[in-house]
Amino acid sequence: MEPIFYIIKTLLSILIVVVPLFLIVAYVTYSERKIIGFMQSRMGPMRVGPSGLLQPIADVLKLVSKEIIIPTNANKGIFLTAPILMLVPSLMVWSVIPLSEYFIISNINAGLLFILALTSLSVYGVILAGWASNSKYAFLGSMRSAAQIIAYEIAMGFALVGVLMLSGSLNLQNIIYAQSGNIFSWFWLPLFPLFLIYFIAGVAETNRAPFDVSEGESEIVAGFHVEYSGMAFAMFFLAEYMNLILISILCSIMFFGGWLSPFQGTIIDSYLSFIPGFFWLSLKTLMFIFVFLWLRATLPRYRYDQIMRLGWKVFLPITFFWLSIIGILIFLKYLPLS
Amino acid sequence: MNIELITFFIFSLLLVFTCLKVITSSNPVLSAVNLVFSFFLSAVLWLLLGAEFLSIILILVYVGAVMVLFLFVVMMLDINIAKKSAAYINYLPLGIGIFLAFNALVIFFFVNTFENIDYNAVKNIEIISTSNTENLGYLLFTKYLVEFEIAGLILLLGIISAIILTYKKNPKNKYQNPTSQISVSKKDRLKVITGLKE
């Protein structure tokens, strides 16, 4: 009886995470259109439902009912596998994310490594989609995106080494516990350059503006997913927004204390103890999601060689430099040795 | 039957299947994709052994980095379908030779290890925690520090020498100079013309 209960409990907790996640993705697209609309003095979607609130549902219905077109001479098996390869890793990562002090699907020891390994898999979806479409634009888009993702993954991994040095653990709950204290004991203060690099590299990893050369509407139509339609396209879309939310939540876990209250260590904290940790985590995550949308409304697209230069010649040396500074500070006991 | 055994059989059967696909599929991209899957499946097998660090590193390094570059190169090649012809027969004797040599090596190793037990190069490990990530890190940075650093140096040397061997500066290539691009000011680009009448 015991293992059956265990399996049911795991399945339920997966449902508790995944179903709201899909809803959140739907409404992140809505808020993206609204926020960018307001930033550009437009109204955004207004027609479906009160102030356009039902727009995402209409979009989903449209995408589901559309036909999936497979181009001639496309490699059918890989063409249909690529969206799945894109979506599955970005869903799997959620199994190790601590959503509150008590809720985490699986609290594994090597959580950080698990996240790094799985986020490095999403590049396959892009490459294989571009190749299998048998289209020049799609292939160009996937080539660009693969080079970009490889370049920024290294900077991203090194930025997380700083978090590791301060927390002394690969377990995400322990990383959050190591930040407890007050708002200034969160890791954003000692690791400020690494935090910036992590966030910017995260934007580049998710192929979002201003690093969206793999889509580049004005140059290569829509990049690696030109040939996709209907549900297959919807899966790329879902994966992109899921990665956006993931990078935001990882930023808040690694550098902004996860579910810790920002008033910890002050007098107000005792009055606010009834607020669950999940509230603070989602507040921080929403802040980062807003920055993502803000970037898209504000910045023009980077030139391709500038992206490569930024990744290899700017970010990587800065991370090396800052890691050695952190090492020296720990050695001189200005920062705690975990 | 316990759940670990079932998982093991499912994943090892899939592993054998994907490995066969690697060598039998006629399309090199499909072979590479199947190789990716087989790496992933063997990472799961390592996870079943309790070697969580090694299995995640296998995914991170081989699947996440090495195979991406591999796939990159294979896709750029202009051979879509390898020719199915007498090539199999030509390579058959060589294949059988390699197969026999490899098996002889494996059998030799196993016979040797069963005869004298003391085959392990790693002895007297100090175990500091239950997580093997921590144990491995502790060992690499204390007992095997010199070896670890030498391995790192050799890899760095490999990177540098590969760049030197392949990099040829073409005088015809035109490069952009980002520093000069950034440092342009309004004066360089705009020319305000005054004094024009009529």
DSSP letter string, A126-191? HHHHHHHTT-HHHHHHHHHHHHHHHHHHHHHHHHHHHHHHHH--S-HHHHHHHT-SSGGGSTTTTT
Could you state, in order of their start, the residue ranges of all structural domains in chain A?
Answer: 1-65, 70-331
A51-65 tens-digit pLDDT? 888 888 888 888 888
Chain A contacts of B53, Cβ < 8 Å? 110, 113
Please give, rounded to a whole number of angstroms, the shortest distance from the CA of B64 to a CA of chain A: 5
Q: What is the pLDDT of residue B98?
A: 92
Q: Considering only the beta carbons, identify the residue of A3, A110, A150 that sits closest to B3.
A: A3
H or E stretch covering A195: helix A192-205
What end-to-end distance do the CA atoms of chain B give, in Å?
Answer: 98
C-alpha A28/C-alpha A21 separation (Å) is 10
Integer Cα distance of A236 and A225 in angstroms? 8
The reported pTM is 0.83
pLDDT score of B86: 56
The rounded distance, in Å, linking the Cα atoms of A125 and A293 is 23
CB proximity A134 to B under 8 Å: no
What is the three-class DSSP state of A5?
helix
Show residues of chain B in contact with A121, CB under 8 Å: 59, 63-64
Round to whole Å and give the CA distance between B49 and B170: 51
- Of chain A, the percentage scoring pLDDT greater than 70 comes to 98
Q: Do A78 and B3 touch (CB under 8 A)?
A: no
Q: Is B29 on the interface with A (CB under 8 A)?
A: yes
Do residues A164 and A178 make contact, with C-beta atoms less than 8 angstroms apart? Answer: no
Cβ–Cβ below 8 Å for A128 and B33: yes
CA A199 to chain centre: 9
Contact A145, A213 (CB under 8 A): yes
Terminal alpha carbon distance of chain A: 41
CB pair distance less than 8 Å for A127 and B75: yes
Per-residue pLDDT at B113:
64
Listed residue (A239, A231, A202, A201) closest to A90, CA to CA: A239
Of A75, A113, A139, the CB nearest to B56: A113
Q: How many residues does chain A have?
A: 338
Q: How do residues A115-165 score in pLDDT, each as one tens digit?
A: 888 888 888 888 888 888 888 888 888 888 888 888 888 888 888 888 888
* Residue reference for tokens 């995470």: A17
- Lowest mean pLDDT of A13-27, A98-112, A213-227, B39-53, name the range: A213-227
CATH architecture of residue range(s) B1-84: Up-down Bundle (1.20)
Task: Give the containing element (helix H, strand E) for A78.
Answer: helix A76-92
The pLDDT, as a whole number, for residue B153 is 95
- Tell whether the torsion through CA atoms of B75, B76, B78 and B84 is positive or negative: negative
By 3-state DSSP, what share of chain B in percent is helix, strand and coil, each rounded to 5? Answer: 70, 0, 30
Nearest residue on chain B to A305, alpha-carbon basis: B176
- How many angstroms separate the CA of residue A99 from the nearest CA in chain B? 23
Could you write out the three-class secondary structure of A211-263? CHHHCCHHHHCCHHHCCCCHHHHHHHHHHHHHHHHHHHHHHHHHCCCCCCCCC
A155 CB neighbours in chain B (<8 A) are none
In angstroms, the CA A3 to CA A9 distance is 10
Predicted local confidence at residue A337, as pLDDT: 67
Binary contact (B65, A110; C-beta < 8 A)? no
Q: Which long-range contacts (CB under 8 A, 24 or more apart) does A39-44 make?
A: A39/A294, A39/A297, A39/A298, A40/A297
Please check whether residue A306 touches B, CB under 8 A.
Answer: yes
Closest residue in chain B to residue A114, using alpha carbons only: B56
Using a CB–CB cutoff of 8 Å, tell me whether A164 touches chain B. Answer: no
Q: What mean pLDDT is reported for chain A?
A: 84
pLDDT (tens place) for every residue of chain B, 198 residues total: 677 788 888 989 999 999 998 888 777 888 888 898 899 899 888 888 877 888 888 888 888 888 888 888 888 776 655 555 556 677 788 889 999 999 888 888 777 665 655 545 555 666 677 777 778 888 888 888 899 999 999 999 999 999 888 888 788 888 778 788 878 888 888 888 888 776
d(C-alpha A177, C-alpha A167), whole Å: 8
Q: Assess contact for B135 and B129: CB atoms under 8 A.
A: yes
A272-330 pLDDT per residue, tens: 777 788 888 888 899 999 998 898 888 888 888 888 888 888 888 999 999 999 888 88
Smallest Cβ distance to B176: which of A123, A124, A305?
A305
Determine the Cα–Cα distance for residues B25 and A330; give it in Å rounded to an integer.
53
Among the partner residues B57, B60, B131, nearest to A109 by beta-carbon distance: B131
pLDDT at site B123: 59
Query: Does B48 or A265 have the greater pLDDT score?
Result: B48
Nearest to A109 among B27, B72, B133 (CB): B133
| A182-195 average pLDDT score | 84
